[in-house]
Structure 1
Amino acid sequence: MKERIAAGFSRHLASYDEAASVQAQIAARLSERLNPIMPPKPRVIELGHGTGFLTRHLLPLTPKEIWLNDLAAPLPDLQWPEQTRVHALRGDATEIDWPERLDLVASASMLQWLGAPRDLLDKAAENLVPGGLVAVTSFGPGNFPELARLGLAAGAPSYRDAIGLCHDMPRKMEVIAAWDETIRLEFADARALFGHLRATGVNGLMGGQLSVPRLRHLMKRMDRQGPVTLTYRPSCCIARKPGPSASAPPSKA
């Protein structure tokens, strides 16, 4: 699975930024809730940075240090503040050596690809300072219902809705925000829909089991059924480790 995911996204990095509009929206909405509650100059790790949708929204935090991890993608080409130390952590997020005493563990549109996301969230909590935050997004079990109706199996092993993400958080973590969304894209025809999946690297969800004749049959069936849509069901969760953050601003009380 890991090799297939890396290969699928590596092949389509050039088209990802333009095609992955939903993933860009998800990263923006997560940051809207996250950034106002972050302490100044945090120590941050982002897991699965991809082409940098969420990474761009972490820039305004002016991190003291940031570790950027991805299975396949190179570091996003961004202009970081001079005082920010940027570290590349290439590889499987479940196997890398994590930095300690983090203020934030962030990840957008990546957890669904893990076989055991709870293990990663346990590791995140262990490496947070008191008061530190975990901010993650995934996709819910109802993701791509149009494809499910065609008999295509889910491509990711760990779809979680917001409740599922909260359940996967370690007990010691306090959930401060969790929500589900629905984002529906419309396409001119089925060929355009599958082109979208290919351009975002998600065509691997068929696992190589979809033959050319069957694909053509499914596309004709979709075109006959009327408007061609693809529905994303993103899920989001932000949780805090109990205790005051060492880098939090002093109380004004």
Structure 2
Amino acid sequence: MNIDKSQVAQRFAKAGQSYAKHAIVQKQICQQLLQLMQHYLPSTSLNRVVEIGCGSGNLSHLLIQNFEIKQLFLNDLYPEVQQHFQHDPKLQWLIGDVEQLDFPQSLDLIASSSALQWVSDIDSIFRKSAAALIENGYLCFSTFGQQNLQEIKALTGQGLNYLTLDEIQNKLLKQGFEILHLSESLETLNFSHPKAVLQHLKATGVTATAVQHRWTKQSLQQFYQDYQQFSRLDQSGQRHYQLSYHPIYCIARSKP
């Protein structure tokens, strides 16, 4: 699937204000990624760090709070993300499509959370990362696997093409990375109605894939009806509609 980056930028810019409130799973993923980084990185002192796809700053703020960083380069597609950050002399901006940008060099760490699934050519990102990192520098990221938002894909046919754990591993090894940690999990959110599922996706900008998808009154009703298959009753007889997230976590180190 070809990803329209301008469409992605537009949808996420629109969701900029609501993202922080509604991106519950993405926040949890950032916390989990941070814990892994704290476990694997030998020092909390870092000279030069790049974050790919910083968005509203869920991971960025955790990095700033938990690591002593001299220079933090923040990347995202659109300049509006800067509103989520106070002026800080150690912050520098790399606005634009990360696939087209040159990476700063001599980096201690390249980090990214819930962003790399939007990249068309992940091999080039891993290759650029390997070239930009210092000896024994770290590439730490979360992305999503094939069961991500599987309910939406099943009902609408819309969704990204996600990589498997094995594919990610092979691509990293090909670029000479040493993989210290690679894991996946499945998280489920529950909603009171399929309409609330769509509102959640809109509020987090995830509808950026749905370029050709236009809802009509009829197709919306059909969607609500079809979503029953992904629902269950709780003990009190309330119906819950589930939405799956499939995070993948990786800590990799560049070899000497």
Question: TM-score under structure 2 normalisation?
Answer: 0.87
Contact 1:165 1:236 in 2 (8 A): no
| Distance (whole Å) between structure 1 residues aligned to residue 248 and residue 230 of structure 2 | 28
Displacement after TM superposition at 1:51 (Å): 0.3
Contact 1:161 1:234 in 2 (8 A): no
* 2:164 pairs with 1:161: yes
| Distance (whole Å) between structure 2 residues aligned to residue 68 and residue 101 of structure 1 | 16
Q: Which amino acid aligns with 1:209?
A: H
Q: For the structure 1 residues 138 and 100, does the alpha-carbon distance in structure 2 shift closer, same or farther, using more than 3 Å as the test?
A: same
SS at match of 1:96: coil
Q: Which amino acid aligns with 1:192?
A: A
SS at match of 1:63: strand
Paired residue total: 238
SS at match of 2:60: helix
SS at match of 1:155: coil
* 2:25 pairs with 1:22: yes
SS at match of 2:108: strand
Q: Which runs of 5+ in 2 are unaligned?
A: 232-239
- Map of 1:183 onto structure 2: 187
Contact 1:162 1:236 in 2 (8 A): no
* 2:125 pairs with 1:120: yes
Q: Percent identity?
A: 28
After the TM superposition, which residues 37-76 of structure 1 pair with which residues of structure 2 at under 5 Å, given as runs? 37-39=41-43, 40-59=45-64, 60-72=66-78, 73-75=80-82, 76=84
Aligned pair partner of 2:11 in 2, 8, 20: 8
Deviations 1:183-207 (A, max 9, x none): 1000001010110011011123322
- Map of 2:235 onto structure 1: none
| Distance (whole Å) between structure 1 residues aligned to residue 14 and residue 250 of structure 2 | 30
- Map of 1:248 onto structure 2: none
Q: Which runs of 5+ in 1 are unaligned?
A: 244-253
Contact 1:139 1:235 in 2 (8 A): yes
**Larger helix percent:** 2
Contact 1:42 1:64 in 2 (8 A): yes
| Distance (whole Å) between structure 2 residues aligned to residue 31 and residue 105 of structure 1 | 13
Aligned pair partner of 1:206 in 197, 210, 218: 210
Contact 2:144 2:245 in 1 (8 A): yes
Q: For the structure 1 residues 224 and 242, does the alpha-carbon distance in structure 2 shift closer, same or farther, using more than 3 Å as the test?
A: closer
Aligned pair partner of 1:229 in 242, 253, 256: 242
Displacement after TM superposition at 1:2 (Å): 0.7
| Distance (whole Å) between structure 2 residues aligned to residue 38 and residue 52 of structure 1 | 24
SS at match of 1:129: strand
| Distance (whole Å) between structure 1 residues aligned to residue 247 and residue 87 of structure 2 | 29
| Distance (whole Å) between structure 1 residues aligned to residue 175 and residue 208 of structure 2 | 34
Displacement after TM superposition at 1:177 (Å): 0.4
Displacement after TM superposition at 1:223 (Å): 4.2
**Larger strand percent:** 2
